[in-house]
Amino acid sequence: MRQPLVAVSTDVKEFENYTWHAAPEQYLEAALSVAGVTPLLLPSFGERIDLDGLLASVDGVLLTGAKSNVYPPLYGGLADESSGPYDQRRDGTTIPLIRKAIQQGVPLLAICRGIQELNVALGGTLANEIQERAGMLDHRGHGETQQERFAIRQKVEIKPGSCLADIVGGGEIAVNSVHRQGIERLGPNLQVEALAPDGTIEAVSVVGSAAFAVGVQWHPEFWAASDAPSRRIFEAFGNAVRAHEEVRRRPLAAE
């Protein structure tokens, strides 16, 4: 069975005397095995990439998490060492990609750093080191192993009647949490889908989007094979991608 292509964001890394454009395997595995799509790594070359041509050739966009934070000047903030590290080459690729994907109705799933990119792309702002604010939970992952860091240990409340409620059900679900940065001012045309007990925005969707366009602050990719809510998010994304592919290919079939 043919699998539709999904463009996946990449981080720019320097090691072993090479510059690498890479994405963690757990996102690729969840896309392939749970969403049922073929992940295609998009190098972070910014405006050198023909994004219109890309979006005409793929049927979805997956934005991954990363250790880097979105560059603060992109949302009116100041860049300093405490809010880094940064990956401006990724920012220069994902921000315009998000805008074009939404404009063109290409399904979009934005995870962790991805939800922050989504918010900035649509005019919102971010808060750094949110765990240092009074009354806030420590949303950073803890533990020595990845299984410990990404353990499902935090509750979030899904907004009734939201897009996410249709996917995972309304009310409270348990998720993981591995981030220092969060949404401060919500971007126009975004609506809140889920909140943490301390008020942190944990999920958003694009109001009036022609296709699936959801961002989550947690990491459903890590447990997509075994955790029901995580699996349903990737399944919903995969269904949206296949629906987009079917519509896109109709003119070709008619020729």
Residues designated catalytic: 112, 219, 221
Residue pair 206/12 in contact by the 8 Å Cβ criterion: no
- Nearest residue to 65 via CA among 94, 96, 104: 94
Q: Which amino acid is at 16?
A: E
Rounded Cα distance, 61 and 40, in Å: 9
| Nearest-5° Cα angle at 194, 241 to 211 | 20
Q: Which long-range contacts (CB under 8 A, 24 or more apart) does 69-74 make?
A: 69/113, 69/116, 69/126, 69/128, 69/180, 69/181, 70/113, 70/116, 70/117, 70/120, 70/126, 70/181, 72/126, 72/128, 74/120
